[in-house]
Structure formats: structure tokens, C-alpha cells
């Protein structure tokens, strides 16, 4: 008799678009275990720090909130320096025994830069101001890249791209949370 495998949590699409004087991060609200949707209105996108940084996460919820808390501490330590705060968090994430076990990714943005942070120490800036993570991330990314040169604003591109991802990815729904900032 084989031991049962733990259920794997699925269900996140997070997308960021920087265009026309705005940066928008949007995410869906679905959380699934195996083939079952256990929550349809999770809030995976939020403002951080003093409201001048926005972020979204993919992965284990408790792990993501731990990372958000750590990032907020780094933002206090390096005010107005999102890139520096993210690099310092990535260093900790790679070297700290507890943090290394965290299973999450984050997209964060301020008025100047958008970044993706991973547990492998990556701090990546998106090409053409568009980046996505999560189970439906590639679908949303493809849609957003196709719409990036259109006359649509950043919010419209994020909404439409997440809608397209929800059509394709069974782990993505249409309960969206969006946060936006004016860019500098």
C-alpha cells in the first residue's frame, strides 16, 4: 500500500502591466486543492508599506504573507528603494533556512519599477512592462503582450488578459482584485 500524496494547491494568476502613466497588478480569487475549488474570492493582490508599493502573490498563502511581511520590513529599512528592498529580501530568502522552504512567488511594483521575486533568488524586471506568475500566468502574459500595443490602458489590459486566462486555465476565475499606482 502506497502512502497518499499530499494535495497540491493550485489556483492563481497574477499579472502586472505598466503603461500610460499607470502600473496595475491584478489577480484572480480562486484557490483549489486538487480538483476542488475551496475559495473563490481570495485576495492575492494588495498595497504594501505606506501604500506606495503594490504586490500580488502566487503559491502557498501563509508563505506569501510571510514574504509580504518581510518585504514590508525591508521597505521600512530602505524607504523609497523597492529594488534594493527586493534584492535584500531575495538574499534572505536564499540563505535563511526557514525562508528557503517557502513556496511562493511575488510581483511587486512602485511608481518606478515592477519586479518578480522568486525563491531561487531572482529579482526580475519585466520586458515591455508586462509580467505574470501563477498557474494561468502564461495565458495572461500572452494576452497582455498581444494587447500592449493597442490603445487600451493598463487597467483594461489587465482585466481583459485575466479574463482570457480564466477562459483557458481551470485554476483561474473571474473574481478579480486590482491595485494601481500612478507612475513617475
Residues labelled as active-site residues: 12
Measured distance CA(91)–CA(161) in Å, rounded: 32
C-alpha cell belonging to residue 168? 483557458
DSSP per-residue codes, 89-121: HHHHHHH-TTGGG--EEEEEE-SS-EEEE-TTS
Comparing CA positions, the residue from 95, 105, 91 lying closest to residue 61 is 105
Comparing CA positions, the residue from 146, 148, 141 lying closest to residue 168 is 141
Half-sphere exposure of 74 (CA within 13 A, CB side): 20
Would you give the DSSP letter of residue 99?
Answer: G
Measured distance CA(171)–CA(59) in Å, rounded: 12
CA 120 distance to own-chain centroid: 16
Measured distance CA(76)–CA(179) in Å, rounded: 21
Amino acid at each position: 500500500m502506497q502512502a497518499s500524496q499530499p494535495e497540491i494547491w493550485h489556483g492563481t494568476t497574477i499579472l502586472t502591466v505598466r503603461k500610460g502613466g499607470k502600473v496595475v497588478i491584478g489577480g484572480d480569487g480562486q484557490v483549489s486543492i486538487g480538483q476542488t475549488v475551496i475559495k473563490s474570492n481570495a485576495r492575492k493582490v494588495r498595497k504594501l508599506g505606506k501604500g506606495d508599493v503594490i504586490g500580488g502573490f502566487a503559491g502557498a498563502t501563509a508563505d506569501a504573507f510571510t514574504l509580504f511581511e518581510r518585504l514590508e520590513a525591508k521597505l521600512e529599512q530602505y524607504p523609497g528603494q523597492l529594488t534594493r528592498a527586493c534584492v535584500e529580501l531575495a538574499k534572505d530568502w536564499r540563505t535563511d533556512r526557514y525562508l528557503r522552504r517557502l513556496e511562493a512567488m511575488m510581483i511587486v511594483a512602485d511608481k518606478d519599477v515592477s519586479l518578480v521575486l522568486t525563491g531561487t533568488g531572482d529579482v526580475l524586471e519585466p520586458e515591455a512592462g508586462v509580467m505574470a506568475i501563477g498557474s494561468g500566468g502564461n495565458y495572461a502574459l500572452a494576452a497582455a503582450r498581444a494587447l500592449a500595443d493597442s490603445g487600451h490602458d493598463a487597467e483594461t489590459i489587465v482585466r481583459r488578459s485575466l479574463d482570457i486566462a480564466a477562459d483557458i486555465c481551470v485554476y483561474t476565475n473571474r473574481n478579480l482584485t486590482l491595485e494601481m499606482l500612478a507612475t513617475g
